[in-house]
């Protein structure tokens, strides 16, 4: 098997990589560029821990061949905070207890981020629909829902502050 | 009452920023130069002699650095001293599909997997047992030579006079309950990295709940002194008991690392995690309970058979807990318990959240509802009639120091509108109530020893940084935060001032681990003792300067002061420096203090056999009301709402306690309605997160939490456990609600639509049978 050259924009940074075509995006992220924030919970696309944004869409990186995503824009959990400041979702997950063991948290935050970008004021039903593929074994999801509510509230405060200025 | 500054606050977990940014490191995130990938060869046979293993071809494969088999590490091990019955690689025979037979270390996963294919094992298949009842009858083909009838352990306990008790009863019921096997399914698969340094010293980073036991086991199996082994626990992605005993992955990594002379990492695939298992066993319960006309329970008798799988693991503890906790949350004078833990050719069962208590609680709280109905009593009322009066000893020697259960029952009755709604909802809608309890750590350690259950050290440096050294394991439950909160509260400093060094056997004193909900209670008490000792050292100096009796001096808001005289005050920093620079101070660089916790002797149970397992320094209590909708056409159950009241003593961090209670209730709901390991001749039919069916956001109901604070006299600041106790009440609460909704009583878990439909059809048939004149439909 020959390695293949690919270029991807990962968390805003261009990466030129020589990879085997059978490597999953998850393996490439974790092993080639040491972005270990994206987790492997199941290796068969059933848990959502490995969710990353690919061109803005939440996707399961464990079942994506990295080589098929030439020039893709990828956001992992490491790319969510900006200039060292936690994103409202990250703050929400801290403040409302959405992260217990933290293993599902990166995937949860990535999925929730895609949702909030498309719909800044989702109902609980819409949040539950969006997160249906991200399993958590610690929280029973109640505090995850509260964390996202908290993030929505924080984002609203930010927006209002920005308008006020 | 003392006012708290940190305790009782809804504090975010200290490690939350690391978890939400991806910066936090779990075992699989670690990497060392030259690191190899380890893989394990698992038996494809449920029961087979291993006649020979040929590893030459695998060894010859380029990229393979080591191949190991049972010949390399013959020493058996196990979590209990009485159960050292498994080897890292089984040498004589395989006892279940998935049993570990050999291991390889290679440059990458593909090479390691290829090497596994090249290992030739000559198996001679043996008859296998998959059903515990059948296994108990077996005369030949024992799983382990020293276990006749494949019975791992049996216990027979009698308290009071059960025969007399049943004679006194106005109503006696006997029911048969069956609970399927469930597993932890923590989101993080087991992972271990093992590396030897040039001096032959081993360091293991592992997803373990108990670094100390892992260090011990590695020492025994590898025949290395404990001083030559360092175990470090990185972040853990959930455990729920599944990481509380050494499954062979850790030893295998160390064996391969020694052989290959390179660091070796083994990460289990999700399928391997399912086969590693150690979850809650299939439990078959024959339960008999008698109640008086007034609803007083007069006697309880249980025969419990647990399908333990192929190895001992925590099994004897599971079967003992089932007995010890069967009757102990109510006042029950007469009890008989016969428990059997049986070996079968399946992966070993072990400890899982609510260890031992969950299935018997399901049976007991279901049957209590049936008895209430028979004597025409409300389900909440029959529970009230049997409340304990704390402080007290239960008939089986469990010492109850605080008992918030009555308040739990009242709170859920009130919040749910029980009085108005119970029994009055339309067909298809129902509500059910049930209770549960759990230990706040076991009063006796797994390994007999006189050392404290926890020791912690505190160091305060010249810049007044407080460092807590604790061996306790944060596994996602928030125990790191709780320990820091306790130290900060006692020293009157902010949580930011307190740094934590945790779960590293080189740096932290021995803690017996994160299981049986012991950390808050036990490590928490040790933290308080250490902080108090630290204060004493500071007061020795500051007290003299203030000319104020030491007991009048407060540590609060980062200050040390005498409330009688505002002039007599100094900052915490000043007080620390004063103590460090005092003439005769032992060390001018840092103040150090130690704290320990050992359960009081009177909490360790009576003298009867088996008393060692079950007793705890304190017990949590929970009451829950479940509201459900059952579709009689499909049998589908929707849990609309769960109200859970949990008596956690004092809620040290309500945000964390609520999270623990909700997680417990939710896991209980999973077992009640959908989770189950499905076996077909020893092969698991659903070894993936998709097929095992833990609930997603779409099936998870709102869980409303009510915290009841009974403030235990011996708990740290009054706290008790919160991580497990609520789980067990969820199952019978749902079962009772289903009965209320559609009038069928399901005594077998999980309560699937199929079981409900079948019961509804049988009920329909019976009612038709009694009304023969009615026309049979349209």
- Residue B232, SS3 per DSSP: strand
According to DSSP, the residues that pair with B265 across neighbouring strands are B37, B193
Smallest CA-to-CA distance from B382 within B369, B364, B366 is with B369
Contact B663 A140 (CB under 8 A): yes
- Residue B653, SS3 per DSSP: coil
At A56-79, the pLDDT tens digits run: 999 999 999 999 999 999 999 999
Residues of A in contact with B107 (CB under 8 A): none
- Partner residue opposite A101 with nearest CB, options B23, B236, B270: B236
d(CA B663, CA B670): 11
Shortest distance between the Cα of A83 and any Cα of chain B, in A, equals 12
pLDDT value of residue B769: 77
Shortest distance between the Cα of A59 and any Cα of chain B, in A, equals 17
Q: What is the mean pLDDT of chain B?
A: 96
CB contacts < 8 A (A, B): 180
Contact B698 A132 (CB under 8 A): yes
What does the pLDDT average to over B123-143?
95
d(CA A149, CA A127): 9
- Residue A147, SS3 per DSSP: helix
C-alpha distance across the termini of chain A, in Å = 58
Shortest distance between the Cα of B31 and any Cα of chain A, in A, equals 9
Contact A86 B184 (CB under 8 A): no
pLDDT of B126 strictly over 60: yes
Ranking A101-115, B269-283, B669-683, B759-773 by mean pLDDT, the lowest is: B759-773
pLDDT value of residue B771: 60
pLDDT value of residue A108: 98
Query: Chain A window 68-107: which residues touch B at a Cβ cutoff of 8 Å?
Result: 76-78, 80-81, 86, 89-90, 93-97, 99-106
pLDDT of B581 strictly over 70: yes
At B57-98, the pLDDT tens digits run: 999 999 999 999 999 999 999 999 999 999 999 999 999 999
- Partner residue opposite B237 with nearest CB, options A46, A103, A109: A103
pLDDT of B472 strictly over 70: yes
A17 touches chain B (CB under 8 A): no
Contact B697 A139 (CB under 8 A): no
- Residue A124, SS3 per DSSP: helix
pLDDT value of residue A164: 76
Radius of gyration of chain B (CA): 27
A135 touches chain B (CB under 8 A): yes
Residues of B in contact with A39 (CB under 8 A): 26, 28, 187-188, 237
pLDDT value of residue A165: 64
**Secondary structure letter of residue A99 according to DSSP:** -
What does the pLDDT average to over B609-620?
83
Q: Percent of chain B having pLDDT more than 90?
A: 92
- Looking from the CA of B231 toward its CB, the CA atoms found within 13 Å total 30
Q: Is pTM beyond 0.90 here?
A: yes
A4 touches chain B (CB under 8 A): no
Instruction: Examine the predicted complex and report whether its ipTM is higher than 0.95.
Output: yes
Q: Which residue has the higher pLDDT, B447 or B257?
A: B257
Residues of B in contact with A30 (CB under 8 A): 29
Residues of A in contact with B22 (CB under 8 A): 35-38, 76-78, 106
Contact B697 A43 (CB under 8 A): no
Query: Residue B186 in contact with residue B238, Cβ under 8 Å?
Result: yes
Q: Exposure string (b/e) for B589-599, b if CB count within 10 Å is 16 or more? A: eebbbbbbbbb
pLDDT value of residue A3: 96
d(CA B708, CA B435): 14
Smallest CA-to-CA distance from B637 within B750, B719, B560, B557 is with B750
pLDDT of B777 strictly over 60: no
**Secondary structure letter of residue A33 according to DSSP:** S
A146 touches chain B (CB under 8 A): no
In Å, how far are B163, B396, B397 from B608, measured between CA atoms? 20, 9, 9
C-alpha distance across the termini of chain B, in Å = 70
Smallest CA–CA distance from B692 into chain A, residue:
A46
Q: Percent of chain B having pLDDT more than 70?
A: 98
Query: Residue B520 in contact with residue B716, Cβ under 8 Å?
Result: yes
Beta strands at B703-708 and B748-749: parallel, antiparallel or unpaired: unpaired
In Å, how far are B340, B341, B605 from B150, measured between CA atoms? 10, 9, 29
Query: Residue B385 in contact with residue B295, Cβ under 8 Å?
Result: yes
Shortest distance between the Cα of A55 and any Cα of chain B, in A, equals 20
Q: Which residue has the higher pLDDT, B609 or B7?
A: B7
d(CA B633, CA B150): 43
Q: DSSP secondary structure string, B19-64?
A: HHHT-S-BGGG---TT-EEEEEEE-SSSSEEEEEEE-HHHHHSTTE
- Partner residue opposite B21 with nearest CB, options A81, A127, A143: A81
At B645-663, the pLDDT tens digits run: 999 999 999 999 999 999 9
Query: Residue B476 in contact with residue A140, Cβ under 8 Å?
Result: no
At B277-311, the pLDDT tens digits run: 999 999 999 999 999 999 999 999 999 999 999 99
pLDDT bracket for residue B778 (50, 70, 90): very low
pLDDT bracket for residue B610 (50, 70, 90): low
pLDDT bracket for residue B1 (50, 70, 90): very low
């Amino acid at each position: 098997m020959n390695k293949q050259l690919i270029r991807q924009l990962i968390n805003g940074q261009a990466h030129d990589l020589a990879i085997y075509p059978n490597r999953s995006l998850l393996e490439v992220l974790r092993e080639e560029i040491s972005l270990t924030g994206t987790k492997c919970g199941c290796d068969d696309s059933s848990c959502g821990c490995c969710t990353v944004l690919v061109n803005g869409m939440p996707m399961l990186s464990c079942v994506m061949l990295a080589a098929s995503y030439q020039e893709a824009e990828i956001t992992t959990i490491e790319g969510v905070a900006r200039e060292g400041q936690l994103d409202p979702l990250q703050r929400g997950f801290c403040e409302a207890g959405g992260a217990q063991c933290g293993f599902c948290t990166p995937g949860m935050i990535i999925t929730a981020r895609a949702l909030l970008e498309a719909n800044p004021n989702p109902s609980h039903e819409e949040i539950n629909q969006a997160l249906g593929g991200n399993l958590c074994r610690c929280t029973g999801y109640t505090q995850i829902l509260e964390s996202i509510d908290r993030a929505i509230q924080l984002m609203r405060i930010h927006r209002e502050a920005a308008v006020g200025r | 009452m003392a006012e708290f500054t940190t305790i009782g606050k809804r504090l975010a977990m200290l490690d939350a920023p690391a978890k939400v940014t991806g910066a936090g490191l779990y075992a699989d995130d670690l990497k060392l130069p030259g690191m190899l990938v380890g893989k394990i060869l698992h038996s494809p046979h449920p029961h087979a002699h291993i006649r020979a293993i040929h590893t030459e071809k695998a060894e010859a494969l380029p990229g393979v650095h080591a191949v190991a088999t049972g010949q390399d590490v013959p020493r058996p091990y196990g979590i209990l001293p009485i159960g050292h019955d498994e080897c890292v690689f089984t040498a004589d025979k395989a006892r279940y599909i998935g049993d570990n037979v050999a291991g390889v270390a290679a440059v990458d996963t593909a090479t390691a997997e290829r090497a596994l294919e090249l290992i030739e094992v000559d198996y001679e298949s043996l008859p296998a047992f998959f059903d515990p009842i059948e296994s108990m009858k077996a005369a030949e083909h024992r799983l382990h030579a020293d276990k006749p009838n494949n019975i791992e352990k049996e216990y027979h306990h009698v308290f009071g006079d059960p025969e007399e008790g049943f004679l006194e009863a106005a109503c006696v019921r006997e029911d048969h309950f069956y609970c399927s096997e469930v597993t932890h399914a923590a989101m993080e698969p087991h992972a271990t990295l093992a590396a030897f340094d040039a001096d032959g010293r081993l360091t293991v980073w592992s997803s373990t709940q108990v670094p100390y036991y892992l260090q011990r086991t590695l020492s025994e199996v590898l025949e290395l002194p404990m001083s030559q082994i360092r175990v470090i626990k990185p972040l853990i992605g959930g455990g729920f008991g599944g990481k509380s005993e050494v499954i062979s992955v850790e030893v295998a990594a160390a064996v391969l690392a020694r052989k290959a002379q390179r660091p070796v990492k083994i990460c289990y695939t999700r399928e391997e995690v399912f086969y590693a298992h150690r979850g809650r066993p299939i439990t078959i319960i024959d339960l008999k309970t008698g109640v008086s006309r007034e609803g007083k329970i007069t006697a309880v008798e249980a025969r419990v058979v647990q399908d333990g799988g192929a190895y001992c693991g925590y099994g004897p503890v599971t079967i003992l807990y089932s007995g010890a906790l069967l009757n102990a949350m109510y006042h029950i004078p007469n009890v008989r318990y016969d428990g059997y833990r049986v070996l079968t050719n399946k992966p070993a069962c072990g400890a899982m959240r609510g260890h031992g208590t969950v299935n018997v609680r399901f049976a007991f709280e279901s049957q209590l509802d049936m008895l209430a109905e028979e004597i025409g009593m409300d389900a909440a009322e029959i529970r009230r009639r049997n409340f304990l009066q704390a402080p007290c000893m239960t008939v089986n020697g469990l010492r109850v120091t605080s008992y918030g259960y009555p308040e739990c029952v009242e709170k859920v009755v009130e919040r749910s509108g029980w009085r108005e709604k119970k029994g009055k909802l339309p067909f298809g809608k129902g509500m059910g109530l049930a209770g549960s309890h759990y230990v706040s750590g076991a009063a006796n350690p797994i390994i007999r020893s006189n050392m404290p259950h926890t020791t912690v050290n505190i160091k305060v440096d010249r810049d007044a940084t407080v460092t807590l050294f604790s061996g306790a394991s944060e596994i996602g439950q928030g125990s790191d935060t709780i320990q820091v909160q306790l130290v900060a509260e006692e020293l009157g400093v902010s949580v930011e001032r307190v740094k934590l060094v945790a779960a590293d056997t080189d740096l932290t004193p021995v803690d017996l681990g994160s299981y049986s909900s012991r950390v808050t209670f036990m490590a928490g008490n040790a933290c308080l003792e250490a902080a108090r000792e630290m204060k004493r050292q500071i007061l020795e100096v500051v007290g003299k300067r203030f000319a104020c009796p030491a007991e009048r001096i407060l540590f609060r808001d980062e200050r040390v002061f005498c409330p009688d005289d505002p002039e007599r005050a100094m900052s915490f920093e000043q007080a620390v420096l004063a103590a460090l620079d005092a003439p005769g101070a032992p060390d001018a660089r840092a103040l150090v203090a130690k704290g320990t916790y050992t359960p009081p002797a009177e909490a360790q149970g009576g003298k009867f056999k088996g008393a060692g397992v079950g007793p705890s320094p304190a017990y949590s209590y929970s009451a829950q009301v479940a509201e459900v909708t059952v579709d009689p056409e499909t049998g589908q159950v929707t849990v609309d709402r769960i109200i859970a009241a949990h008596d956690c003593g004092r809620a040290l961090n309500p945000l964390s306690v609520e999270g623990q209670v909700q997680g417990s209730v939710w896991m209980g709901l999973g077992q009640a309605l959908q989770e189950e390991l499905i076996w077909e001749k020893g092969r698991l039919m659903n070894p993936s997160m998709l097929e095992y069916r833990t609930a997603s956001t779409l099936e998870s109901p709102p869980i409303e939490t009510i915290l009841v604070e009974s403030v235990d006299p011996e708990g740290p600041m009054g706290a008790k456990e919160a991580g497990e106790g609520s789980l067990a009440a969820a199952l019978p609460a749902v079962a009772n609600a289903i009965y209320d909704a559609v009038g069928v009583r399901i005594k077998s878990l999980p309560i699937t639509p199929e079981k409900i439909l079948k019961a509804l059809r049988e009920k329909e048939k019976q009612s038709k049978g009694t009304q023969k004149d009615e026309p049979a439909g349209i």
